[in-house]
Amino acid sequence: EVQLVESGGGLVQPGRSLRLSCEASGFMFDDYAMHWVRQTPGKGLAWVSSISWDSGSIDYADSVKGRFTISRDNAKNSLYLQMNSLRPEDTALYFCAKTTAYYSAMDVWGQGTTVIVSS
């Protein structure tokens, strides 16, 4: 079964850091691009970041550029999102998702991990 499981969310103070992880199983992880998408409570979806299969292509939303870093370890079938200088507006449910290619639709999503930035 193809599966993505996020972890690492929690309650953190503004200005602090958090690292999210996404563990993949059931497919050849190093064949696929991966993405982070977030959803604010009661709101819509917002793309955060993308990384190609070989980490050669990486993009960020303007709202997180310079603060968040996406990375992957293909040997561990894992995707990461290092979030620094967190702000209250980063509070959201963070999903990881896979695509067939870098520019492709997100065909598998994880269940998400919640990040709350509050003092």
Sites of contact with other proteins (CB under 8 A): 35, 37, 44-47, 50, 59, 61-62, 95, 99, 103-107, 109-112
Instruction: Specify the residue, 75 or 105, whose C-beta has the smaller distance to other proteins.
Output: 105
Q: What is the dihedral of CA 25, 107, 111, 81, to 10 degrees?
A: 80
Instruction: Specify the residue, 9 or 112, whose C-beta has the smaller distance to other proteins.
Output: 112
* Minimum distance of other proteins from residue 103's CB (angstroms): 5
Phi, psi of 74 (to 5 degrees): -65, -30
* Minimum distance of other proteins from residue 23's CB (angstroms): 15
Check if the beta carbon of residue 46 is closer than 8 Å to that of residue 38.
Answer: yes
Nearest residue to 81 (alpha-carbon basis) of 23, 21, 34, 40 = 21
* Minimum distance of other proteins from residue 16's CB (angstroms): 25
